[in-house]
Amino acid sequence: MEIFSENVIGLDIGSSSVKAVKLKKTNEGYEITGAEIVSVLSNSIENVSPDLRHSLYVDAVKKILRAKNMTGKKIVTSVLSAENSTIIRYVGLPYMTEDELKNQMPHQLEQYVPIAQDQIAYDYKVVTEYAEDSQKKMLVLIVAVKNDSMNQHMSILKDAGFSPQAIDVDPLALCNAYTLNAEEETSELRLNTVALINIGAKSTILQIVEKNVPRFTKDISLAGNNFTKDIMREFQLDFPQAEELKKQQARILVESEETLLDTVRDANDEKVIRINDAMKSSLNKLFQEIRRGFEYYENNNKKQAGSVQKILLSGGSSRIQNIDKFLAEKLSIPVEINYPFKNVNIDSKNFDLDNLRLNAVQFNIALGLAIRKVGV
């Protein structure tokens, strides 16, 4: 069944906000007919009771899917991830038929997924075929989600009055959005190996893509909330106050700026320096986790993998000023902010175009979900 007989809604339920993109397939490509973002809570969602958290998510989903430009029944969403609830593995196997792979899957799950099979929902897909040592092989993507997390996610949607036609995971949605935008690049400009990094509120996704094929995924339990808590401690603020200060004044000082501020400072500079210093430990830990991910990928894929040639940043915390320059300096790799709507038309009659542009980096996952076809 094709999902593009009418508009498709990609619904990204994040840890601090819910985002949705409504996408229509046209003869010219894709057109966005709606985009909405709703905050879940002004405070940190992790500090509330499970029942209140559930109610807040239900209310946010209701609000976003009942907006004027979000009407429609075809919804694709991704699992609301808690720590260690989703496991993604890339497994190289000898080439085999579809039936042979299906029969092999229980053994592969036992080997690569450290959770009992009756406690997970799983799916798998051959992402590419390749030759190694004169043997034909295939790279199989295995995704497993704990039943508790899947049930929690489905309960939110059910209580909000909606039923998804497909469920994906955030890293693969990032790949979908990247692949769509990569289509506009000529073969001379297209890079072989790109790292997609989405810095959310509670976690950071690292997804490495080689020639538009997902090859490596890492979930890092360090993200925007860590920076906010650093600012809370430094300035003795509550979470909402620190979050607002981060959004309005946080700026990471790269080497050139640090040199300048050593000679010329004013009161505002002093605050910027305090914010930078407060976040420095968390920023360095994030950089180290990303570097470890790159090293693991390269060491375990020596025959197929190349070094990462570019990083594309998305997520709410990618809006922190100079975070792209910080990572570029630390990793010696070009870093760009990942604007998701390069290769889609935008029907600005249906929503606030300025707001869409302001929050664009938060819509990569929702866009990638809207692109997905049922059954693919």
DSSP result, 288-357? HHHHHHHHHHHHH-TTT-----EEEEESGGGGSBTHHHHHHHHHTS-EEE--TTTTSEE-GGGS-HHHHH
Check pLDDT > 90 for residue 338: yes
Greater pLDDT, 189 or 98: 98
Q: Single out the residue of 100, 314, 299 nearest to residue 207, CA to CA.
A: 314
Work out the mean pLDDT of the chain and round it to a whole number: 87
Is there a shared CATH topology between the 1-84+147-184+342-376 domain and the 186-338 domain? yes
- CATH topology for the 186-338 domain: Nucleotidyltransferase; domain 5 (3.30.420)
Rounded CA gap, 231 and 317, in Å?
A: 14
pLDDT at 81: 58
Among the listed residues 293, 286, 314, 274, the one whose alpha carbon sits nearest the alpha carbon of residue 226: 286
Packed helices 239-249 and 224-235: angle between N→C axes, nearest 10 degrees: 110
Q: How confident is the model at residue 186 (pLDDT cuts 50, 70, 90)?
A: very low
Kindly state the average pLDDT of the residues 300-324: 88
Read off the pLDDT band of 83 (50, 70, 90).
Answer: low
Highest average pLDDT, of 70-79, 221-230, 297-306, comes from 221-230
What span, in angstroms and rounded, lies between the C-alpha atoms of 260 and 277? Answer: 16
Between 290 and 261, residue with greater pLDDT: 290
Inform me whether the pLDDT recorded for 2 exceeds 50: no
Q: Decide which of 26 and 99 is more confident.
A: 99
For the ranges 10-24, 182-196, 344-358, which has the lowest average pLDDT? 182-196
Which range, 123-132, 190-199, 254-263, has the best average confidence (pLDDT)? 123-132
Pairing of strands 310-314, 335-337: parallel
Higher pLDDT, 182 or 367: 367
pLDDT of 374 strictly over 70: no
| Mean pLDDT (whole number) for 305-330 | 93
- The whole-number average pLDDT for the span 264-281 is 83
List the chain domain ranges.
1-84+147-184+342-376, 186-338
Cα–Cα distance between 151 and 161 in angstroms, integer? 15
Q: Is 149's pLDDT higher than 60?
A: yes
Is 174 within 8 Å of 198 (Cβ atoms)?
A: yes
255-269, 286-300, 351-365: which range is least confident on average?
Answer: 255-269
Residues contacting 297, CB < 8 A, separation 6+? 208, 215, 216, 305, 308
- According to the model, what pLDDT value does residue 376 have? 42
Residue 305, pLDDT > 90, answer: no
CATH of the structural domain 1-84+147-184+342-376, one choice from 3.40.50.2300, 3.30.420.40, 3.40.50.300, 3.20.20.70: 3.30.420.40
Q: Which of 56, 120, 19, 84 is nearest to 219 (CA)?
A: 84
Structure token pair of residue 363: 């819509």
Q: In this predicted structure, what is the pLDDT of residue 116?
A: 93
| Whole-number pLDDT of residue 310 | 95
Helix (H) or strand (E) holding 146: strand 135-146
> What value does the mean pLDDT take over residues 208-237?
94
What pLDDT sits at residue 4?
Answer: 38
18-22, 26-30, 293-297: segment of lowest average pLDDT: 26-30
Q: Is the pLDDT of residue 298 over 80?
A: yes
- What is the Cα–Cα distance from 178 to 184, expressed in whole angstroms? 11
pLDDT at 199 over 70: yes
Count Cβ atoms within 10 A of the Cβ of residue 179 and give its class: 0-12 exposed, 13-18 middle, 19 or more buried: middle
Residue 189: pLDDT band with limits 50, 70, 90:
very low
